[in-house]
Amino acid sequence: MTRFTYLILLYTVCACFAMPRGAIRQWMGAGSPVVPASLPNSSCPQGRSIPASAPPILRVTTVGRGPIAMALDAQTGRVFVVNARDGTLSALNATDGTLLSTSSRILDRLDQLAVVGRTGRVFAASGVSDDIVVVNAATMGIVRLVRVGAHPRAIAVAERHGRVFVADDVGVHVLDARTGMVRATIPVRGGQVSAIAVDEQTGQVLVGAGRTLSALDVNTGAVRRTFRMGSDIGALAVASTLGRIFVYDMGNETVTMFDARTGVRLHATHLGSVVTEMAVTDRARRVYVTDTGGFDVLDARSGTLLRAIHIGSYPYTVPAFDEHKGRTFVVSSGPCARKGRRQGIGVSVLDTTTATIRSTIAVNPPPYPIAIGAPLIMVVTDEHSGRVFISNAVANTVSVVDTRSS
């Protein structure tokens, strides 16, 4: 079973317990919106009080239908949003969150997004049509439509090398970061690709497929080395400045740390939980590992577990970091066991180094996870403007939060 199939089944089970009656009908366009109570200012599992000084929401901007992916383009000062249900792309002003434009329909079910600031290009993928669309970031005009293999599921950018890597069922496609032309298609050993990450410091692309992790040369696509894991690979993360690679082994529920240059295994940490995403913050030297009950924080230098925190039943999106202010933004959601109450959905603001919760930003109406293979809430940060953008795929909105005073 691949990681993506597993996650779809996981979201379905979670939805059965957490989704109010009628929420699926709302997502499909039928019935009235379901708006549960706001997220309480408490950490339900531990019963600890969370400070009430949440950063203020400056604006709630309506975009297209079903925004499920966002990316910041610091060069143009825009935040791009993929709207899955109508196949469009929206652009927001990164300073105040105002809507600049929304395209006409590009492709059915757009669900992946990446920005290449140096070339002024936006890459969006559709797993339904098996296509990649390349868009001019300044004009929103379509540069190229590229047919790749079946079910493109992840996009990784090597900006310094001018390459974009697209993973699908059979391998990895190497695209020119300016023109979008396919330079090479690389078959990958081990089965379907489940994770991909770029390490520009060592000039390699890491591809997880089945139990095999392949390190490819970022310029030629040649295989430098392969690693054999104990079971299927579920997630990857790279700490480029430290020369470390982190690999989640699904069957053993273990995160293994490798030396990025030599491939030597340095440390393995057993987490005992199902990991959905991993992300590294270079300045704080932390690895944030999102699992089905909260997240684990690892030391990026040693690979050891520093802290495990339960903030919801399925916080399944990639953490977002503000490296300048030392803040981490993590989606917290799901039913609360304490006193039989339900906890809403929000974004927890944490101190990146200590992983202590500082505040929680409520999201209304809460987007409930359903089995579509993608998260329904996402967070991106703009350190320059001090803004945090939170997408809500049920309400078709992006909330803009000011973090400069928090």
Q: Residues 231-240: pLDDT tens digits? A: 999 999 999 9
Residue 122: closest CA among 66, 177, 198: 177
Residue 359: closest CA among 48, 55, 153: 55
pLDDT beyond 50 at 216? yes
Q: For the domain with range 75-187, which CATH number is right: 2.30.290.10, 1.10.357.10, 2.130.10.10, 3.30.980.10?
A: 2.130.10.10
Q: What is the rounded average pLDDT of the residues 3-7?
A: 43
Same-fold call for 75-187 versus 191-310: yes
* pLDDT attached to residue 37: 27
* pLDDT attached to residue 365: 54
Q: If you ran DSSP here, which 8-state letter would residue 335 be given?
A: B
Q: Which CATH class is domain 191-310?
A: mainly beta
pLDDT beyond 60 at 56? yes
Q: What is the rounded average pLDDT of the residues 282-300?
A: 88
pLDDT beyond 80 at 187? yes
Report residue 389's pLDDT band, with 50, 70 and 90 as the boundaries: very high
Please give the Cα distance from 37 to 24 (Å, whole number): 18
Please give the Cα distance from 266 to 302 (Å, whole number): 8
Give residue limits of the domains in the chain.
1-64+336-406, 75-187, 191-310
* pLDDT attached to residue 49: 38
Which of 26-35, 114-123, 376-385 comes out lowest in average pLDDT? 26-35
Q: What is the rounded average pLDDT of the residues 27-49?
A: 34
DSSP output for 6-26: HHHHHHHHHHHHHSPTTHHHH
CA 53 vs. chain centroid, Å, equals: 26
Sign of CA dihedral 218, 248, 109, 383: negative
